[in-house]
Amino acid sequence: MAEFFAMGGYAAYVWTAYAVFALTLLADACAPLLQRRRALRELRGRIKREAARRP
Amino acid sequence: MNPFVLWFHKFGSPPYFYRVAGRWLPWLYALALVTGVGGFYGGLVMAPADYQQGDSFRIIYVHVPCAWMILFAYLFMAANGLIALVWRIKLSETLAMAAAPVGAAFTFITLVTGSLWGKPTWGTFWSWDARLTSELVLLFLYFGVIGLYRSIEDARQAARAAAFLALVGVVNLPIVHYSVVWWNTLHQAQTVSFTGQSKISPSMLWPLLMLAFATHVYFFASLLARARVALLTLESGKDWVRGLLPGEAAHG
């Protein structure tokens, strides 16, 4: 197991590369979720404001 | 109208696209995750170490699938940009603009992992090699498209301007692809070929192809997720969007 993590002495390069891959894609996957939440919140606010304006 | 054209028109309608994409999304994410993990297992555990590069060659499994991915993502963005400019289809504008951030993310990964691979094999993190430089230009093109889209207030006008920039940037794609052939610099020539014989052993190749599949599936998952949000914002005045918020929509 330790040998596997050592990557033949290239651990720093190999694992950093895999970490960059995983973290970047994780951030990319979260972005649309956050945008969606914001879009729905804005939409709710707009509907409420329009309802308040209506006599 | 023939069934294909009919389907095309139906799919181009935002509410239909929103619904269908929402149904596909979990499956695409799951498929990308499963094939991605399988490919990583094959690449990190099952594939033997390279006889020249040792274990450092395993960076290939994050670097090369992403590098293939960004050319595909750019072509996808440019093709949708062309459709948006010629036929003014709203969904194509949305898809083109949704592809840009995903493509930029993959280009960033390609450049960073390539640099991390360059240090142990070439002795340097960066050089102004033809392939590296043209990939950097590709990253800036993605940034340009995103920046231009965000800087214009009207979303539809912004999408058309950015689509035009994306089309002009297509000129960079053959340069990226053929840079290792045209200029004899640091980056190695291509090893995997779909038309001729690949110069890589099958035990090293299958995880690579599996990860290429996984990254492409992920691209479509992220694309659909982003396009859905963009449509919510773009069509926020329409009934189908209001209908998504039960209760509150009853008055609107």
Please indicate whether, in this complex, the C-beta atoms of B116 and A17 are within 8 angstroms of each other. yes
Provide the whole-model pTM: 0.90
Which of B63-72, B77-86, B198-207 has the lowest average pLDDT? B198-207
**Per-residue confidence (pLDDT) for residue B52, from 0 to 100:** 79
For A17, nearest residue in chain B (alpha carbons) = B113
Measured between beta carbons, the chain B residues lying within 8 angstroms of A9 are: 54-55
From residue B130, how far is each of A4, B59, B165, B182, B189 by CA, in Å? 34, 20, 22, 9, 12
Name which of A14, A35, A44 is nearest B56 (Cβ-Cβ). A14
Question: With bands split at pLDDT 50, 70 and 90, how would you rate the model's confidence at B1?
Answer: low
Count CB atoms within 10 A of the CB of residue B46.
Answer: 11
C-alpha B228/C-alpha B174 separation (Å) is: 31
- Quick check: B33 pLDDT over 90? yes
The more confident residue out of A8 and A17 is A17
Q: What is the mean pLDDT of residues B87-94?
A: 91
As a whole number of Å, the CA-based R_g of chain A is 23
B54 pairs with which residues across the strands? B50
Measured between beta carbons, the chain B residues lying within 8 angstroms of A36 are: 225, 228-229, 232
Which of A36-45, B5-14, B142-151, B204-213 has the lowest average pLDDT? B5-14
C-alpha B11/C-alpha A16 separation (Å) is: 41
Please give the structure tokens belonging to residue B35: 């094939």
Please state, rounded to an integer, the average pLDDT across all residues of chain B.
89
Measured between beta carbons, the chain B residues lying within 8 angstroms of A20 are: 62, 109, 112-113, 116
Interface test mutation site (partner B, options A26, A41, A47, max chain B beta carbons within 10 A): A47
**SS3 of chain A:** CHHHHHHHHCHHHHHHHHHHHHHHHHHHHHHHHHHHHHHHHHHHHHHHHHHHHCC
Alpha-carbon gap: A25 to the closest alpha carbon of chain B (Å): 7
